[in-house]
Each structure stands twice: as structure tokens, then as C-alpha cells.
Chain A
Amino acid sequence: MIFAAIVAIEVKDLLSSVIAVGAVGFALCLAFLILKAPDLAITQLVVEILCLIILIRATIKKDLPLVIEGRWVFNTVSTLAFICLFLFFAWTALRELPRFGEPIMAVAKKYLSEGISKTGAVNLVTAVILDFRAYDTLGEATVLFTSVIGIMAILRRPGRKKLKDMDNAR
């Protein structure tokens, strides 16, 4: 996954970088299956496919590699220094987490033991997102709705009347 991500960022051709992002997404779907999360694997797979279609639609005619110029050395060194600092702080913070593979599960114990009897649903992840935590799902439906409205508003062509007015004014 890390190798595909490096390829995606560094390669000069735009189409190859989009395909490398697709490879990262598919590897992520496999990682979800290994971590025993089948819901997430299905959702990640289909969302990845749709994301690839939309990304390729934007890059299909506009292939441009870029040149490096300007204060390149200073910019790169400062960015790499910042990233190393970030990783150092992350390492000291991550030592406070419980060991990998032994989660605390303070709230989830209650969900696991009473989930089936309280909701009647067998799939516990669906029970959590639609019954115990339905507000989050409402928020997500709102975000999706807003993004669809935003896209339709941005990609709108002027109507016929406005084009005629612009032609008359010329």
C-alpha cells in the first residue's frame, strides 16, 4: 500500500497516478477483510470504483507533467522536517494506546451483549448505525445531499434565455 501511494504521488503521468490510487483503495479493501469487517470491505470496494470513474473523467484530456523550479531545496527540506517532527510526536502519543489486538471496548460490550435483544437485527454494525447511533446517519445523509446539490450548482450551464441575452448584448 505504501509503495502504491508513493507511485501515485511521484509519477508524472496523471492517468498512472489515478490508477495507483485505485490500487491503494483495493489493497485497503483487502485489509478490511483481514481485519474482519465485511461491511466495510463491500462499501470500500464499490465506493473506490465510483471514485475512480469520477477521477478519470476529470483527467482524460488534460495530461500535463510539471517542471520543478524556484526555491525547491528549502521547500522540500522544510516539508520533510515537518513530517519527521509529526511522526516523532505521533510515536510518543501512540504509546499511550492499548496494545494492538486488545481493545478496551467499554461501550461496545453493552452493544454486543444487548444488541440482538434490543433491536432484533442480526448484523450488529447495521444495528449500531441505524438504531443506537442514528444521528450520525442523519448527519451523513445531510452531507451527501449537500454535496449533490453543490455539484449540480457548480456544473450548471447558463440557460437558454441567458445565452440569448448575452448574444443580444454583444
Chain B
Amino acid sequence: MRDNPKAGMTLIVKTVTRLTVGLILIFGIYIILHGHLSPGGGFAGGVIVGLAFVHLMLAFGKDVAAAKISKNLASNLESIGALMFLSVALLGFFGGSFFLNILAKGTPFKLFSAGTIPLSNICIGIKVGVGLFAIFLALVVLEKSKEQE
């Protein structure tokens, strides 16, 4: 990644961030996907994914992270995540009532069991992660233009 030596933090922080931010992202996705098998679930995993992006922004300055996910893309993704969660809920109408768990419940302890629960976890994970990153973008953008005045 290109980096401006004056923006962001020192060289040690930048090197360590390059090595670990991919691992944090994968760990967050793992916790979201295995939400119905081991502790975690959509909310904790979503916050970890959001923290990976925040880490990137803190270490490299605002511009690199904003190039990866711009502000419009962040707000669009969050709305899409919320709409997907609602649509998974409305799918239950095919079964008879709101939010009914209609997909096949396979054998326990497998990844593809438990009906609509993994889908809901994924939707909530996207929504929470991108939402937290949007909050942080709003806070940082404010500081930059405050210094210009």
C-alpha cells in the first residue's frame, strides 16, 4: 500500500498493521459464520470487522482508509445490510408467520444447520461493522475540516 510518511503513525505501527489487519478481518468473519456453533454471533463479529477498518484508518491516516471504503459506499452498505435482515424476516411469511425459521434444520454441529440463523448473523454482521466504520469516518472528517477553519 502506498503510504505518505507524514500521515498516520510511526513506521512500527504501520508495519504491524500491514501484517495483522487481514487476520483481524478473517477472525471477525469466522466469528460471524460460526455464531450458532460457538460463542460470538453477529454482533461481536460485526464489531470486530468494524474494528479492522478502524485500525487501518488509525494507522495510515484518513486517506488510505477512505479510498478503500468511501463514505457513500459505507452508508449504502449499511442500508443494504438492514434491508437484508428484514427480507430474511419476511421470508418467514412463506412458512406461516413473521420471522418463522423455515429453512431446513440440518443435523446439529454442522456449519449449514439451524435454518435462517446463519443468514441473520451475516446480515447483522455486515450492518454493525459498516455502521461502526461510518461513525468513525464522520468523527474523523469533522476534525480535519475543523483544522482548516
Contacts and interface: CB of A to CB of B under 8 A. Distances in A.
Interface of A: 38-39, 41-43, 46-47, 49-50, 53-54, 57, 116, 119-123, 125-127, 129-131, 134-135, 137-138, 141, 144-145, 147-148, 151-152, 155, 157
B54 A50 contact: yes
B142 A155 contact: yes
B91 to A, nearest CB: 12
B127 A141 contact: yes
B128 to A, nearest CB: 7
Given A121-B36, A141-B127, A151-B138, A46 B47 contact: yes
Contacts, number: 127
A43 B44 CA distance: 5
Given A126-B117, A134-B120, 8 more contacts: A43-B43, A43-B47, A49-B51, A120-B107, A121-B37, A123-B36, A126-B35, A152-B138
B39 A135 contact: no
The 4 A-B residue pairs with the shortest CB-CB distance, nearest first, are A120-B105, A38-B39, A121-B114, A121-B36
B99 A135 contact: yes
Given A46-B47, A152-B138, A119 B131 contact: no
Contacts of A47: 47
B82 A39 contact: no
Interface of B: 31, 35-44, 47-48, 50-51, 54, 58, 75, 78, 82, 85-86, 89, 99, 101, 105-109, 113-117, 120-121, 124, 127-128, 131-132, 134-136, 138-139, 141-143, 145
Contacts of A123: 35-41
Contacts of A42: 31, 39-40, 44
Given A43-B44, A46-B51, A120-B105, A151 B135 contact: yes
A39 B36 contact: no
Contacts of B135: 54, 147-148, 151
A57 B113 CA distance: 42
30 contacts: A39-B41, A42-B40, A53-B58, A54-B136, A57-B143, A119-B101, A120-B105, A120-B106, A120-B113, A120-B115, A120-B117, A121-B37, A121-B108, A121-B114, A122-B37, A122-B108, A122-B109, A126-B35, A126-B117, A127-B36, A130-B41, A130-B120, A131-B99, A134-B89, A138-B89, A141-B124, A141-B127, A148-B131, A151-B139, A155-B142
Contacts of B120: 130, 134, 137
B139 A57 contact: yes
Contacts of A120: 36, 105-108, 113-115, 117
Contact of B113 (A43, A121, A125, A130): A121
